[in-house]
């Protein structure tokens, strides 16, 4: 006995979700982390708290509010309907939105730390050498923070793969659209199909261990891996 | 002398307390999600009448099964089906003699929209909605009944692209009440527990369209000598409990009602 067709489909969908979410997260997290590391705005503390919030909130809270927000009477749902996009609950797009919010702290914090550790010196040096701020950002700041960015990418990807509560609440468990590995395992366990649950759960365990192992190796020897 | 007297009184009151604590037990009861609301009401009456305390855990029957198999400390299980209690009896984890039907569920098609669901179910044939919610048929008896209904109406295939699955009947209800799904197959007890019956629209699915949703209870092995557990099972077949169960839209298995 090996992984069933349904399990393979769930694995494919999970990898797709994690990849897209990671890309979106990096696009949002890098500028956000830069702003957090350098701003003197009074908004710094509230924004920092807001970004960290998903770390503290249970997924059931996040999922429940997302379900209400995305619904036809919620603010997000009203907006998406007005734009002619329909409602995002029970769709792959909805899962990406949920994953991005849920994993945001995991993407922002490593990059934030990297930018802070770098300080202002390298950017000032680049400016005296005649580089425009944008140019300096891409040629100096990003390469300097690459270890933090890579950590953010790995954590975002792994955290999205391991996501359960939010997906369960807003997904609707539709095969090929919103049924990911974690909800599939849950379904097998609840349906008392333990052999299938074991196969999938064991794969997940091995995957998670491999990711954390890679992360640990990365932290020890950043120079050789990058 | 005074000291001795007060010590004696304390001693006497302690002795007086002993038989009372022995008869007032705390029971851990695992209750299927769809029966949560009636069980709260029943528990209040039971506790007042017997002095026992009920610790109620609400959840899915499948999960309770897995937990009980692995030694979860439940005394009584009120399942959402008949197969789980039967399996527990076969595996020697529950008392065969205690197994009986405590309620028969009703399936209802419900929408928050007051004009969507008609009392013939024509809304299903028209298919004029984007999503319809049902409990996962593999996990929840109400989901299975919903699929049987759609099969009987010859609509299962056409409507399948619009299905969204709740992991339990509780989550299915959540999808429908938040209007993320326009309508859905829910438990009659959920519709009955609504504050205002004026909102929304519903169709009580005719019983011949799906296999009866018999829900069985059973006393688990660890409570086989627990009088409180036996008292609860008896109480659930008594007139006060039956009245509450019926008021939530459940049917009753009249064959097994205690005289």
- Answer yes or no: is A209 within a domain: no
Q: Return the residue in B180, B182, B183 with the most chain A beta carbons within 10 A, the one to mutate for interface testing.
A: B180
How near does any CA of chain A get to the CA of B63, in Å? 5
Do A71 and B178 count as a contact with CB atoms less than 8 A apart? yes
How near does any CA of chain B get to the CA of A77, in Å? 9
- Answer yes or no: is B166 within a domain: yes
Rounded CA separation A148/A218 (Å): 10
Q: How many domains does chain A have?
A: 1
- Answer yes or no: is B129 within a domain: yes
B134's tokens: 């049902």
- Answer yes or no: is A202 within a domain: no
Contacts A–B by Cβ distance under 8 A = 63
Do B178 and A191 count as a contact with CB atoms less than 8 A apart? no
Q: Are residues B223 and B165 in the same domain?
A: no
CATH code of the domain in which A122 resides: 1.10.3720.10
- Answer yes or no: is A194 within a domain: no
- Answer yes or no: is B164 within a domain: yes
* A67 neighbourhood in chain B, CB within 8 Å: 174-175, 178, 180
Closest CB to B62: pick one of A67, A72, A191: A191
- Answer yes or no: is A42 within a domain: yes
Q: Are residues B72 and B118 in the same domain?
A: no
Spatial CA neighbour of B170 closest among B121, B200, B134, B131: B134
Query: Chain A: residue nearest B160 by CA?
Result: A174
- Per-residue model confidence (pLDDT) at position A76: 94
- Answer yes or no: is A101 within a domain: yes
- Per-residue model confidence (pLDDT) at position B22: 47
How near does any CA of chain A get to the CA of B258, in Å? 33
CATH code of the domain in which B132 resides: 3.40.190.10
Query: Chain B: residue nearest A65 by CA?
Result: B178
Closest CB to B179: pick one of A64, A72, A173: A72
- Answer yes or no: is A169 within a domain: yes
At A219 the three-state DSSP class reads helix
Q: Are residues B9 and B100 in the same domain?
A: yes
How near does any CA of chain B get to the CA of A106, in Å? 28
* A169 neighbourhood in chain B, CB within 8 Å: 171
Q: Are residues B28 and B41 in the same domain?
A: yes
- Answer yes or no: is A14 within a domain: yes
Handedness of CA A125, A127, A131, A136 (dihedral sign): positive
- Answer yes or no: is B209 within a domain: no
Q: How many domains does chain B have?
A: 2
CB B167 within 8 A of CB A170: no
Q: Are residues B119 and B158 in the same domain?
A: yes
Tally Cβ neighbours within 10 Å of residue A83: 8
Closest CB to B164: pick one of A64, A90, A187: A90
Closest CB to B167: pick one of A90, A174, A190: A190
Q: Are residues B166 and B239 in the same domain?
A: no
pLDDT of chain B along its 259 residues, tens only?
555 555 555 555 544 444 444 468 899 999 998 998 899 999 999 999 999 999 999 888 888 998 898 888 999 999 999 999 999 999 999 999 999 999 999 999 999 999 999 988 899 999 999 999 999 998 889 999 999 999 999 999 999 999 999 988 989 999 999 999 999 999 999 998 887 655 799 999 999 999 999 999 999 999 999 999 999 999 999 999 999 999 998 999 876 555 4
Q: Are residues B13 and B63 in the same domain?
A: yes
Q: Return the residue in B87, B135, B159, B167 with the most chain A beta carbons within 10 A, the one to mutate for interface testing.
A: B167
Strands B183-187 and B107-111: antiparallel
The per-residue b/e assignment along A30-49, b for 16 or more CB within 10 angstroms, e otherwise, is: bebbbebbeeeeeeeeeebe
Rounded CA separation A89/A170 (Å): 6
Do B131 and A172 count as a contact with CB atoms less than 8 A apart? yes
Q: Are residues B45 and B22 in the same domain?
A: yes
Do A67 and B65 count as a contact with CB atoms less than 8 A apart? no
Q: Are residues B67 and B26 in the same domain?
A: yes
How near does any CA of chain B get to the CA of A141, in Å? 43
- CA geometry: angle at A120 spanning A117 and A123, to 5°? 115
At B55 the three-state DSSP class reads strand
Task: Find the domain containing A128 and state its range.
Answer: 5-183
Do B138 and A189 count as a contact with CB atoms less than 8 A apart? no
CA dihedral B191, B192, B198, B203 (to 10 degrees): 50
- Answer yes or no: is A201 within a domain: no
Judge whether B60 is closer than 8 Å to chain A, CB to CB.
Answer: yes
pLDDT averaged per 10 residues in sequence order, chain A, 226 residues = 86 96 97 94 95 92 92 92 92 96 96 93 90 90 92 94 91 90 89 88 92 83 48
Q: Are residues B27 and B88 in the same domain?
A: yes
> What DSSP state is assigned to residue B136?
-
B186 strand-pairing partners? B108
* B143 neighbourhood in chain A, CB within 8 Å: none
pLDDT 10s digits, A52-84:
999 999 988 999 999 999 999 999 999 999 999
- Answer yes or no: is B238 within a domain: yes
Q: Are residues B89 and B116 in the same domain?
A: no
Task: Find the domain containing B241 and state its range.
Answer: 2-104+214-256
């Amino acid at each position: 006995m090996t992984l069933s067709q349904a399990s393979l489909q769930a694995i494919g969908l999970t990898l797709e979700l994690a990849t897209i979410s990671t890309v979106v997260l990096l696009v949002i997290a890098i500028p956000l982390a830069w702003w957090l590391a350098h701003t003197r705005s009074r908004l710094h503390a509230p924004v920092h708290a807001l970004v960290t919030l998903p770390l503290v909130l249970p997924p059931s809270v996040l999922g429940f509010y997302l379900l209400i927000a995305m619904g036809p009477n919620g603010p997000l749902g009203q907006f998406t309907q007005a734009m002619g996009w329909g409602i995002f609950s029970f769709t792959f797009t909805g899962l990406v939105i949920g994953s991005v919010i849920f994993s945001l702290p995991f993407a922002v914090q490593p990059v934030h730390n990297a930018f802070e550790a770098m300080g202002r010196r390298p950017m000032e040096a680049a400016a005296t050498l005649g580089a425009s701020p944008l140019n300096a950002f891409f040629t100096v700041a990003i390469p300097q923070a690459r270890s933090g960015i890579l950590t953010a990418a790995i954590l975002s990807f792994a955290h999205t793969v391991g996501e359960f509560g939010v997906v369960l609440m807003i997904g609707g468990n539709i095969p090929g659209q919103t049924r990911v590995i974690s909800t599939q395992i849950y379904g097998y366990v609840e349906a008392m199909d333990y052999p299938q649950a074991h196969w999938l759960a064991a794969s997940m365990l091995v995957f998670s261990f491999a990711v954390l192992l890679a992360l640990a190796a990365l932290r020890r020897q950043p120079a050789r891996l990058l | 002398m005074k000291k001795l007297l007060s010590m004696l009184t304390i001693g006497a009151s302690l002795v007086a307390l002993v038989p009372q604590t022995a008869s007032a037990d705390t029971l851990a009861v695992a209750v299927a999600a769809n029966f949560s609301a009636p069980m709260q009401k029943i528990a209040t009456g039971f506790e007042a009448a017997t002095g026992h305390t009920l610790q109620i855990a609400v959840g899915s029957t499948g999960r309770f099964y897995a937990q009980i198999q692995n030694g979860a400390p439940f005394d009584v299980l009120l399942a959402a089906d008949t197969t789980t209690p039967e399996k527990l009896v076969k595996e020697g984890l529950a008392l065969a003699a205690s197994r009986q039907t405590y309620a028969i569920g009703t399936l209802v098609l419900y929408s928050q929209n007051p004009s969507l669901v008609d009392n013939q179910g024509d809304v299903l044939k028209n298919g004029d909605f984007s999503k319809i919610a049902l409990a996962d048929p593999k996990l929840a008896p109400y989901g299975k009944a919903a699929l049987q209904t759609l099969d009987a109406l010859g609509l299962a295939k056409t409507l399948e692209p619009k299905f969204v699955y709740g992991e339990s009947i509780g989550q299915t209800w959540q999808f429908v009440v938040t209007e993320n799904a326009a309508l859905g197959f829910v438990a009659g007890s959920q519709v009955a527990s609504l504050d205002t019956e004026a909102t929304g629209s519903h169709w009580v699915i005719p019983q011949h369209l799906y296999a009866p949703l018999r829900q069985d209870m059973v006393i688990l092995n660890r409570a086989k000598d627990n009088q409180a557990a036996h008292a609860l099972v008896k109480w659930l077949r008594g007139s006060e409990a039956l009245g509450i169960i019926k008021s939530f839209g459940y049917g009753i298995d009249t064959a097994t009602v205690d005289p």
